[in-house]
Amino acid sequence: MRNLAIALSISVVFVGRGSGQSPDKGDQLQRTFYLTHTATIQQFQEVATTIRTIADIQQITTNNDQKSVTVHATAPQIAMAEWLFNELDSPIAQPAMPHEYRPPGTSDDVVRVFYVITAPTVQDFQEAATLVRTITDTRRVFTYNGRNALVMRGTGAQMRLAEWLVKEIVPEPPSSTHQYEMAGNDDVVRVLRLPHTPTVPDFQKAATAIREATQIKRIFTYNAPRAMALRGTADQIAMAERLAIDLDHPSK
């Protein structure tokens, strides 16, 4: 599966960690960060891409040898970049709980980092991240494979749904209903499990049958725990649940 984080394709120039910020053109400032806990160049680039995209920074340069990131941006953008840097450049994996940043002066703009520590492989993590992005309809979603960190920026409603999904798709979900009702509209989000489908093709075939029968547009699968997340009307979700019960059996 394609990695959600897109590699940077810009030139590289850097200065050290904690170098401070200096005045630049207009209201732009310059700040350089050193990443000291990224094990590979790919991980370094994932962190740099996340900072660039989530903080909406246009001018950013990277130095692979020094693992440094220099940004030219406004003070609010640099503040967000610093928070992301401190959050992602950590020596140990963070606990499975959301970490949040709210840009000053904004009414409904939230950045959150979720650590999907139950995903055993990069593919599993990417499937989980794509599921959350698809169901929450969040545009700015990036992944950092080195920490299984899912970084998102959207509305408070999107982040609350994302938090529920991250908790729900773990191998042993905490809730018994597996359902989330969206405030302000008729959408219902449901996580269905088909534990008796023995292979991934069997599971995918069942998911396709449910999609075609219910006409649910937003549905995505997470293969390892045989979980699928669906977002539709209450009637569509009820039909999907009945179909899942019928389809959840070992292949013959």
44-88 per-position pLDDT tens digit:
999 999 999 999 999 999 999 999 999 999 999 999 999 999 999
pLDDT at 232 over 90: yes
- Give residue 183's pLDDT: 80
- Give the model's confidence band at 3: pLDDT under 50 very low, under 70 low, under 90 confident, else very high: very low
- Give residue 11's pLDDT: 29
* Greater pLDDT, 2 or 210: 210
Threshold 0.75, pTM exceeds: yes
Radius of gyration of the chain (CA): 20
Mean pLDDT to the nearest integer, 228-238:
95
What sign results for the dihedral spanned by CA atoms 43, 47, 49, 53? positive
- Give residue 24's pLDDT: 44
- Give residue 252's pLDDT: 55
Mean pLDDT to the nearest integer, 150-177:
86
pLDDT at 16 over 50: no
- Domains belonging to the chain, first-starting first, are 176-252 (3.30.1370.120)
Mean pLDDT to the nearest integer, 135-160:
93
Rounded to 5 degrees, what angle do the CA atoms 220, 224, 169 make? 60
- Give residue 19's pLDDT: 42
Q: pLDDT tens, 105-132? A: 888 999 999 999 889 899 999 999 999 9
Token pair for residue 240?
């999907």
Mean pLDDT computed over every residue of the chain: 85
Q: What is the DSSP string of 135-201?
A: HHT-SEEEEEGGGTEEEEEE-HHHHHHHHHHHHHTSSS-S-SS-EEEPTTSS-EEEEEE-TT--SHH
Mean pLDDT to the nearest integer, 147-157:
94
Q: Are 238 and 182 in contact (CB under 8 A)?
A: no
Mean pLDDT to the nearest integer, 169-190:
80
